[in-house]
Each structure stands twice: as C-alpha cells, then as structure tokens.
Structure 1
Amino acid sequence: MERKAIVVGVNRNSSAESFAHSMEELCNLAQACDVLVLGEITQNLHHFDKTYYVGSGKVEELLALIEETEANIVIFDDELSPSQIRNLEGKLDCKVIDRTMLILEIFASRAKTKESQLQVEIARLNYMLPRLVGSRESLGRQGGGSGLKNRGAGETKLELDRRKIEIKIASLSKELEQLVARRKIQRKQREKNEIPVVSLVGYTNAGKSTLMNVLLDHSGLEKHVFEKDMLFATLETSVRKITLTNSKEFLLTDTVGFIKKLPHHLVKAFRSTLEEVTEADLLLHVIDYSNPHHEEQKELTNKVLQDIGVENIPMIYAYNKSELLDGPFPPHEDCVYISAKTGKGMEECIQLISKQIFNDYISCEMLIPYTDGTVLSYFNEHSQIIATDYEEDGTKLIVECKKADAEKYHQYIQNVL
C-alpha cells in the first residue's frame, strides 16, 4: 500500500527560516523512505503540548486534512513521547511516527555490513522499549490484591515483551562489542604502521563519499565507495589508503553524516564507528557550500563532534559544490573551495592535507653502502627520492622522509638540508 503522509512541526524558538529548513529536511527524509508527502501543518508554541504535541485545535485541523487527502501516516518533526503517540493514534485513527522513527527506518534499509546492522537494530530496540503499548482490546484489566494470578493478561504480556527486548539488546550489544574489539585491533595495527589518518566528516549529503572517490582516482585506485545524491547514503565506515604522487601515504576514512535532531539512540549506537574520528590525525570537514543553511550545518556537525569527544584535532574546511555558485570566494586559512564533481580545487585540497599531516618530514642527504640494499629499497618505497647518485662507496640520495625514519637510519645521513 502506498504510504501517503502529512508532516507536522512545532516552532518553539527557531527563526522562521531555520524552522522552514527543518520541515523541508523532514520532507526529504520521508522521500528517502518512499513516503509521499501530501500536506503540512505547523504551529508556533513556546512548549510542546503534553497530550498531543500540537494544540487540540491543530489536531482537529489535522484530522480534516487526513480525511481530505486520504493520508495514512502522520510524521512529526520532533521525538514524541509514548503517551503522545498513543493519544494521537487514538484521535487520528492512523499511523503516527516521528523524525527519529523515520531516520531509524532509513538507517535500517541502508545498513549493509554486520556492524552497522547491529548498531541500527540496537538503536531501534532502545527507541521501542519505552513505547511498548498494547492495543486497548488486548490489554486485560488489572485485578486487585497481590500475586501474578490477579494481574491482567495485557500487563503480563507487556512485561514479557519488554523482557524479550531487553534480552535481545544485551545479546546484540555483546555481538557488537566483539566487532568493535576487532576494529580496535585494526586501528592499533594502523598506528603501528605510523600512517597518518584523515577522517571525512560533515552533514549528510555534503559530498563526503564523492570527495573520497575523487581522491581515490587521484591515487590511481579503483576501490570506490558508494555515493549517491540522497540523505544517509553512507552508513559504513570505509577506510582507503591514498598514495600521493610524491610517494607519501595516508589513510582516508569516510563516516556516517550528521543531521539536525540526530536521535541520541543512533549517536550512542554508532559511537564505535564514530571513534574512528576521535583518533584521526586530521579532520576534513566537508560542507555543502551551495546549501543556504551551510553555516548552520557546519555548526551542528562541530557540536556533534564535540559531543563524541573530538578535541584538539586539526581541521580543514572543504566547501564543496562550489561549481553551483559564482565566485569570488573569501579566502580563509585551513579552508578550501572545491567541487568533488568537477575536480576543481582538488590539488589545493591535497596540498592543504599534506601540509597538515606531513609536517614532520625532513630533507637530508644520505649515503647507503651497496651492501645495504634493503635500506635503499625501504627509502625508495617510503620516501620521496629527490636525487640519486652512484658513488664508489655506495648510493648517494637526497630524500624527503619522516623524522622517525631519519632517526632510525641516522648512521647513513651525511647532511640535513
């Protein structure tokens, strides 16, 4: 059956423009779930109505709109309490969901790896737990006195359902912990290899995956990540090694995008995935510059990063989709204007990344005896050779290499340039 919806929102203290953007985003989320939006009802209130979220007059207006449009679902822009859902469904006689449920549905349909599927399912069950309600007919009346004999059948069924969900959450969390432990081992291995890590962060649909694929093309790799012009196209954390033309390497990770009113259940469930960000050497914050609300999205992303414990990590702001706007663009330090679609500004972006993560490289002159071929091979593979000369005592190199490598092979260094 086709899902046809009315979207409902309450503006408490936001500006009219910010509220309109939130409602537009809600419609885009519905579209991502293949739900057709037929109408919209909004209200300005200082506080949400405890009974219905909107005032009783608006509920009547909503009822009339449902009948007129034959909508079968009502979507609210904020998270509803269990009693509000119950009251609204009783009054409107149709399915009532909120923004959190909608985002959970999108995540459930897009999750491909075992880890992201577990994360979404745990978030969904945690959301459902306080909202367990039986239909009025199936609930038995609670009897007086003590003991299980006197309790209504409905109440007992709810308790059993609740217990089942709690057991399932515990079981899935245990399974997720094992996968998280595996991810930690992989991270430790990467640290041991001393390869710097750059993490892509940003609002959903800002172009993070497209940018990652452009950098992969630049590196000559074909192992692309999934990209599409839609909300939450990426849920899995992808890690790829990028090798630059000067033989320098770094790891690039792509993470789940953020959104306004991101459900706390999801932030909690995806914490293990987001840990990749907290241990990065550099954050590449991708911003959709063509979006009129890009400043608000930038602030929201920074706030979520702060909430998950990201601090003292250098950040580059990559203003993407700049091909959709007319310049000139104001220059800022640690900021680059790019178009992942056309490739504009990519060289500048790579230079900015290199400047940040390869600042511990030094240039030196080395003489490696012919007997130490393995050392020569190592520098050929892990550093940029600027000049090579074959002398009587060995191979003379002018190299740009990591400080750590220079210290390790100090006996071969003749001059630091």
Structure 2
Amino acid sequence: MNKLVIANLLHRPLRSLISVTAVAIEVVMILSIVAIFMGMLDSQKERMNGIGADVVVMPSNAAMVAGVGGAPIPIINAKFLATLPHVTVASPVIADFNMSSAVEIMYGIDFKSYDALRPFRFVAGGPFQTPDDVIIDDIYARSGKGYHVGDTMRIKNHEFRVCGIVENGKGGRRMVPIDTLGSLIGSEGKASLIYLKTDSPANDDLVMQEIHNTKGLANYRVQTMEDLVSQYTPSRFPGFDIALEVVISIAVVVGFLVIFQSMYTAVLERTREIGILKSLGSSKATIVSVVLRETALLAVAGVLLGIAATYGVRALLHVKFSTFAFELTGAWIGWGTLIAFAGAIFGALYPAWMAARKDPIDALAYE
C-alpha cells in the first residue's frame, strides 16, 4: 500500500510539487513573521539590559519602548537626580525613532555618564571628539558596505564622522552627542529618559520612592530596568498578536485550499483505482488511509522544504541587512510544523471521505 501511495504522488509530479510548495510557503509565512517580531523584541531586550542602568525615569506619556515619545525631560533634572541618596550615576538620553534608512532607535547620549553606567568596549576608535561624531556598534559597522573609524554617514541630513566602533549590546546601534541630536530634532536641553545606576539593587525602591516624593518629578514614570525589560513581550505591543493571527490564518487557508484541491482532483482521477481496491476487499478506513498517507507525505516534504527555506531567508537577510534581527526558535518551528501539518490533513479529509463512499460497481464502470 505504501508503494501505491508513493506511485500515486510520482504519477502527477507537478501537482505534488505544487502541493509541497504550498505547504512550504505556509511554513515560511508563519516562521518568518514570528522570527521578525521576536527577533526585534529580543534584540531590544538584550541591548536594553546591556546599558547597565538599574532605574529608568521617563515622562508619564512615554511609549514602552525605551521611552520613545519625544524629549520632554529637562536635562538639568539628571544633575538633580545624581544628588539623590543611593544614586551613583544619572545619564540623560534622547531615544529618537528613526526610519530614514532602517527602523531603529537613534540614541543621543552624554558619553561620560552613559559610559559610567557600564563602560563601552571599543573595537576601534574612541569617544566623541567633536559634536559631529557618531559611535556605532560592531554589527552596524558590518552592515551595508561596511563602516570604519573616520568614515562619514548622514543622519537627519547632518554629516557625522565615525569616531568609534563598540561591541554591540549597549542600547542603540548608533549613538551621537545628546546636544547635537537635541538640536537636530528641536529639543535642545531635553531628554527622552534618564537612566540611573544605584549603589545597590536593594535600594532601587528607595530611589523610586524618593523621586515620586520630589516636587516636579511626582508625575514621571519611574521603574526598575528589570521591570521595563520584562514588558517586552508580544502581548504588550499593539497589533503584534493580531498580525500574527492574520498571517497564520492566511497561511493555513492557502495550505488547506491547495491540499483540498489537489486531493479532490486526485480522487476524481482515480475512480477506477478506488473501485478495484474496494472490490478486492479494501475497507473504507483503508481508502481513507491511502488519501491521508499521500497528504501526510506531501505535508512532511512541504514542512521540511519550508523550514529549509526559512533558514535561507534568515541567511539572506543577514547578508543584506546585518542589523536586522531574525530569531528562529525550536518552539515556533514545532508550532509551525504542527499548524501546517494539521491544515494539510484537514484539507484532505473531505476528499478521503468522498473516496471511501464510492460504490465499487459504479467505480469499476467509470470511464
């Protein structure tokens, strides 16, 4: 019977190839959208953790992602916060959402205080020397045609010189002096958020309470870095779950319809074959199993092709866009496999049921 199943698939190679491709596309769609979203989230979490801050102070209306939402905090507040008990470093930062060349959060930093949170590890070059300098991480340095110390790049219609390349994982991939970025976006003397380092994590709550009890700072949003990073989950980002559900639904519908059409047509074309099997004593369950076994083989081949193609997509994106995070996890590969396989089987159920119901006399008389 297994030989018959394989022979049936090989008898119509184009149809089998189309079915396998449809399942593969379904898998690629599911895994790619998840890998892109999860990659962006996990990359941001990793870089936020690498900043070295214990407490972050943001305006009450700030977006969850690194305080993105303008730069309304007077930088002078950082100097006051640095005087609070248990605060060892207060570093003002502008987090500017930038989509000029790629989706990124541009960082405007005060180098001395930002470096004090957790020191930079320079691969090449060093700190800012002029207001028109930019520090980039090693991943960004490898992007595009590659950047080296001394090269220039255009940011917000302003020429910057690469003064240093650092190891990735410390906030933004590109960092410029906070005063320069502030003047470029019309927020001179302002910051988006202020990172604080305390003398001990045990004193974080005391620092936050002191800030809330300070006149003029009571309305600021203050939380530990740990709490902020823990919020980087799909459910906290508007539209993430909806986008994921829409893509998965479209992918399942595509796989279902292609498998349904393929197996429905196959059953119609093999009417006499089914009649012979039933006249030889094959039960309805046997006929159903033949159709479902064919579908299972197509689904397995499609899933394997889809997983391989997704890794190909990741490799291509890594070459073309090295700063682009694309995270494939074993859990979602398993979910993608299960969803695609289940969709294919459900698509074959009606054709299988239709084949099992055929009368052997009518089937043998079919021309």
**TM-score, normalised via structure 2 length:** 0.25
* Larger Cα-atom Rg: 2
| Larger RCO (CA within 8 A; separation ≥ 6) | 2
More helix by share: 2
